[in-house]
Amino acid sequence: MKVSIFRKHILPFNFNQLMDLRTLKELVRQGEGEHLEFKLKSNHPERIVREMVAFANSGGGKLLIGVGDDKTIKGLKYADEDEYILERAIQKYCTPGISYRTERVPVTDERDVLVFHIHRSEEKPHAVLDMFGKKKSYVRVKDKSVQASPEMREIMKRTRRNRDIRFSYGDKERQLMQLLDKQQSVTVDSFATTVGIPRTLASRTLVLLVLANVLEVHPDEVMDRFTVAMV
C-alpha cells in the first residue's frame, strides 16, 4: 500500500517512544552514525531530505534539527516554522513518499530540538527530485548519506518483490568465485575487466547473486563492493 507523503505515520517499536531531554542528550553523546544525523538548522531543506530518504532506503533513523555536528544542543527558536519548511520539502522532493513522524524536545523555555523519526521503508527505492526533476536515491553508509549506485537501486527495487531468485552457475560465476577466493571483494568494473565481459553483464550478474543471497553488497561513495555472503 502506498504511503501518503501528506500524513505522518505512527511508527512501530522504538520509533514510537517519546523522547525527553535526558534521552536526547544520551543520543547526541553517541554521535552521528548509521541511524542518527544532526542538523543545526533547517537551511537547504532540499539537501536535508536526502538524509531522510537515505534512512528510509536503509535501516531507518532519527534526524535531529537543532543539534550541531560538534554535538552542541542549541535547539530551534521557531520550531513550528522549521517543521513546516521540512514537511513541505518532503512533500515536494521525496518520491515515493516516506513514512515518518515528528516530535519536539524542549531544551530551554524558548528552544526545542525537532526530531524526525524515519522508518525503514518496504517501498524503496525512495528518491529525491533535483531542480531538473531528475530522481536520485540515497542510502546510509556509516554516518553519511551517499547516492545509490544503479546496482543498489536495482537491488532495492527487486528486493521489494520478495520472490525466489534463481540463477545458473556458469563460467562467469565460477571465475567470480575464484576471484573472491583471492581477494576480499570485487567491484562491477574489476569483475568485468578480470573476466572479460561487458560491464552491463557484470552488473546484472552481481545484482542477481546479491538477490540470491550468494553475495553481499557494501555501498560506497566511490564504488560499491561485493563480497561473499556470510552464512
- Mean pLDDT check: name the lowest of 41-45, 109-113, 164-168: 164-168
C-alpha 96/C-alpha 58 separation (Å) is 15
DSSP 9: P
Predicted confidence (pLDDT) at residue 2 exceeds the cutoff of 70 = no
Q: Report pLDDT for 17.
A: 61
CA atoms within 13 A on the CB side of 33: 7
Q: Considering 95, 120, 145, which residue would you say is the last residue of a domain?
A: 145
Q: Considering 110, 145, 180, which residue would you say is the last residue of a domain?
A: 145
CA distances from 157 to 121, 133, 173, 176, 224 (A): 12, 20, 23, 24, 17
**pTM of this structure:** 0.89
Q: At what angle do helices 171-182 and 199-211 cross, to 10 degrees?
A: 80
- For 137, other C-beta atoms within 10 Å of its C-beta total 23
Helices (H) and strands (E) in the chain, counts: 7, 11
- Give the bridge partners for 117, in sequence order: 62, 101
Confidence of residue 121 (pLDDT cuts 50, 70, 90): very high
Domain membership flag for residue 6: no
C-alpha 95/C-alpha 17 separation (Å) is 27
* Percent of the chain residues past pLDDT 90, beyond the cut: 84
- The mean pLDDT of 93-104, rounded to a whole number, is 96
Q: Report pLDDT for 13.
A: 37
Same domain as 123, residue 101: yes
Same domain as 118, residue 136: yes
Q: Which residue range is the domain that position 25 belongs to?
A: 13-145
Number of folded domains that form the chain: 2
The CATH number of whichever domain residue 77 belongs to comes to 3.30.950.30
> What are the φ/ψ torsions at residue 61 (nearest 5 degrees)?
175, 180
For residues 160 and 123, the answer to whether their CB atoms sit within 8 Å is: yes
